[in-house]
Structure formats: C-alpha cells, structure tokens
Amino acid sequence: MSLAVEQHKRKLFSKNVETTLFAALVTFLSYTVVYAYRKPFTIASYYNIEWYGIKYQTWLIICQGIGYMLSKFFGIRFISELKRLGRWKTSFILVGTSWLSLLFFAIVPPLYGLFFLVINGFCLGFMWGVVFSYAEGRRSTDFIGSVMAVSFIFAGGFTRSVGKWLLVDMNVAEKWMPFVTGLLFIIPFAVLILLLERIPPPGDDDIASRSERVAMTDNDRKIIFRYFGKGLFLITIVYIFLTVIRDLRDNFMTQIWTELGYNSDFTIYTKTETITTVTVLVLVSLVVFVRRNIQAFRLIHFLIFLGFVVTGLSSMLFMAGLIPGAVWMQFVGMGLYMAYIPFNCVFFERMIAAYQLKGNAGFLMYVADAFGYFGSMLVMLTKELFHVSNGWVSFYSMASLCCACIGIGGILFSLIYFNKKYYSRQVN
C-alpha cells in the first residue's frame, strides 16, 4: 500500500513539474512575441523629423506610452474581472488590433501615425494581465512568473535586433519595419495563445497553498483599498520611480547605446539583455523554494532593496568615471530589473497569498502600473517640452541615482508597514 502511495506521489510530482515547465516556457514565449508589436519602432530614426523641437521618434514613444498608460487605468477593472473562458479571443483581438495599427502607421502621413501608436499602446497594455492570469495562484507561480517577467528584458533586446536586421540587411523602409516585424511573429503568436489555453488551471494543492484566484467585484476592490490603502500608496510611489527609470532605459536604449559609441552593433541589445535575463531569472525564481508566504513576501522586499542598491551604486561609479559605459549599462539594467520584475510576478502574488485576499494579482499589478506609467510619461514630457539639454546618458545616469535613493527608502518603509499589518491581523 505504501509503495502504491509513493508511486502516486512521484507521478503527481512529475506531472506538476511538467505543467510548471510547460507554463513557464509558453508564457515566456507568448509575452516575447507581444513585444514584437510594441518595441521595434524605437530603433528607427524616421528621417529625423521634428515638431516643436522634439524628434518624431520621441513623439511616437510618448504617444504609445500614453496609450499604454490609459490601458493600465482601464485594466484595473478589466483585468480584475477577467474570467478564464474567452481569454484567447481577447488576446487575438488585442494583438490583432495593435498589429493593424502598425499597418495604418505605415500608410498614413507622419502626424496621423501618432494616433495609431496610441491605439497600439492601449491594446498591448492589457496583454501582461491576460497572459499572467494563466500563471497566477499556483505553488510554482514564483518560477513561472519569473520566467515570464524576464521575457521583457530579453524580448526588448531580441525584437529590436529583429527590427534592426530588417532595416540594415533586408532594406525594409523605416515606416514599414514595425508592421513587417509583427508579420514575422503572427503565426508564432497564434500558436502560443492556443498553447496557453492548454495550461491546466490551479489544482486543489495550489489553492490551499496560495488561495483561490477569482474575478473581482467593486466591493472586493474597495475592501483591499480600505485595508491596505496606505501600503499600496507607498508601494505605488516606489513603483512610479522604478517604472520611470525602467521605461526610460527601455524606450531610449538606442540613444543611450549610441551616445556610448555602440551605434553600429545591433547585437549589443540581445547580448547585454540576455545576461541580465539569466541573472535576474535565477535570483527571483529562488523565491519558489520559500513555502511560507509571509517569509517569501519579506524576501521579495529584500530583493527589490538590493536591486535599487545595485542601480544606484553602478550609476555613482559611472558618473565618477570609475567604470566604463558598457559595464554601467549592464549593471544598471541588472539592478533595475532585480527591483522591477518582482513587482510584475511575485510581489502581489505572495501578498494575496500571505493575507488570504479575495481577488487576483493582476488587479494590484494594474493599480501600480497605471500610476507608474503616468509618472514615466510625465518625466519624458518634462524633459522634451522644457528642452532639458542633458544627453540621454547624463540624464539617465542622474535619474537612476535619484530613483534608486527614493526606492531604497520606500521599500524599507513598505516592509515595516506590511509586517505590522500581518502581525495585527494575526492578533485579531
């Protein structure tokens, strides 16, 4: 009898491992493909068109960012109420619309192209929550979510490299390059969405370990805001500054590398981002081995704290001339994503599990993301409209240092706040 039980446990364990690896791979590849519709346009100069002293490329980044920001505010309700059935249809509609917007961007005059980049950003902004909904609420969510989250480190570099290849080697026109990049990925995207649907839902053991994830009502959202309002406000402030430095790096990576002297090397994006991807994935996915949710929640705070330290320290050393630009970009990216990725895969996942909240992690992610992208757009517009004269390297190194200092203080106060909430809950 004991032998039969042991064999059953081994079979169950093997099945869980297979499901975890399958879910991790499919979510990673799915969101990598989504980036093919979002980022490649940032590597084109668009013939150096300018309006009001601002480059057309920068206008495009701002317009897409505005659309992305708006989707996060709409997503607070949309993602929190997302049901399991019909997610594949939602994905096809969102990505299909974003791809069509790139077609119209290629056809219409440059001024009207700005409008279609807003549509592109708005549609793609929902996709993180949709894809993550397949991963959350499991004992292995920390690992699956970490693998999925590092996709936007790798994907940003990889899809830019594809876009640069189309421009340089295939002689695709700049305005058509984003649409053609999307064309290359349309079949992989369709296959991956169908594979997402094959991921089994969380089992009974998952629910017992992490709590059941359900579509939320207005009252469910109000309860969380009422009980954790101050803590969520504090975390949102930290996340705003974190999103600012992450988004500046992501959107203006080409300009930063160009100023550092790497304009002709289109492989630099993939090479540096791959190193960062592997490092951050290993660090964040280790949280899966911490079973107690509150302990894991505290550990995630420490990991975010460490990321801010690496970001700030590397920027200080670069500004002092003690390390070269390429080393700085590698380490500032690594520190940045050590802090940023936990927010997008494990921070709110473990928070819901630790406090046994009724809802889903996507809701809390979109609350933070909405204001994070608002802050990012505000900083970007301020730099361009007020014609801050610093180059991107100088501006970004200073911004990274300032944001790291604020982030270090904010995450420490967050740890104190949520610890108090946990112990008061235990007493009550």
170, 175, 178, 184 alpha-carbon torsion, rounded to 10°: -40
Q: Is 8 a member of any domain?
A: no
Mean pLDDT is lowest, of 27-36, 136-145, 389-398, for 389-398
Q: In which band, very low, low, confident or very high, does the pLDDT at 104 lie, cut at 50, 70 and 90?
A: very high
Q: Is 77 a member of any domain?
A: yes
Mean pLDDT is lowest, of 115-119, 127-131, 149-153, 396-400, for 149-153
Q: Is 58 a member of any domain?
A: yes
Number of helices (H), then strands (E), belonging to the chain: the values are 17, 2
Which SS3 state, helix, strand or coil, does residue 324 take?
coil
One-character DSSP codes across 371-417: HHHHHHHHHHHHHHHTT--S-HHHHHHHHHHHHHHHHHHHHHHHHHH
pLDDT at position 410 is 94
Q: What is the mean pLDDT of residues 320-331?
A: 86
Cα dist from 346 to 27, 55, 87, 303, 418, whole Å: 15, 37, 22, 11, 15
Cβ–Cβ under 8 Å, residues 61 and 380? yes
Q: Is 7 a member of any domain?
A: no
Q: Is 148 a member of any domain?
A: yes
Task: Using the predicted structure, report yes or no on whether residue 122 has a pLDDT greater than 90.
Answer: yes
Dig out the tokens for 137 from the structure: 């609420």
For the chain, what is the domain count? Answer: 1
* CATH code, domain with 421: 1.20.1250.20
Q: In which band, very low, low, confident or very high, does the pLDDT at 10 lie, cut at 50, 70 and 90?
A: low
Residue span of the structural domain in which 419 resides: 14-199+207-427
Mean pLDDT is lowest, of 33-42, 269-278, 365-374, for 269-278
CA 331 from centre of chain: 18
Q: Is 5 a member of any domain?
A: no
- Compute the distance between CA of residue 44 and CA of residue 178 in angstroms, rounded to an integer: 9
Dig out the tokens for 46 from the structure: 């668009």
Please write the tens of the pLDDT for every residue from 191-206.
999 999 999 988 888 8
- Compute the distance between CA of residue 346 and CA of residue 137 in angstroms, rounded to an integer: 10
Cβ–Cβ under 8 Å, residues 397 and 319? yes
**Which residues, 6+ apart, have CB-to-CB distance to 286 below 8 Å?**
none
Cα dist from 56 to 41, 134, 328, whole Å: 11, 37, 28
| Residue 209: count of CB within 10 angstroms of its CB | 17
Q: Is 2 a member of any domain?
A: no
**pTM for the complete prediction?**
0.82
Q: Is 57 a member of any domain?
A: yes
Q: In which band, very low, low, confident or very high, does the pLDDT at 428 lie, cut at 50, 70 and 90?
A: very low
Q: State which amino acid sits at residue 12.
A: L
Please write the tens of the pLDDT for every residue from 388-405.
556 778 888 898 999 899
Residue identified by tokens 């100023």 is 259
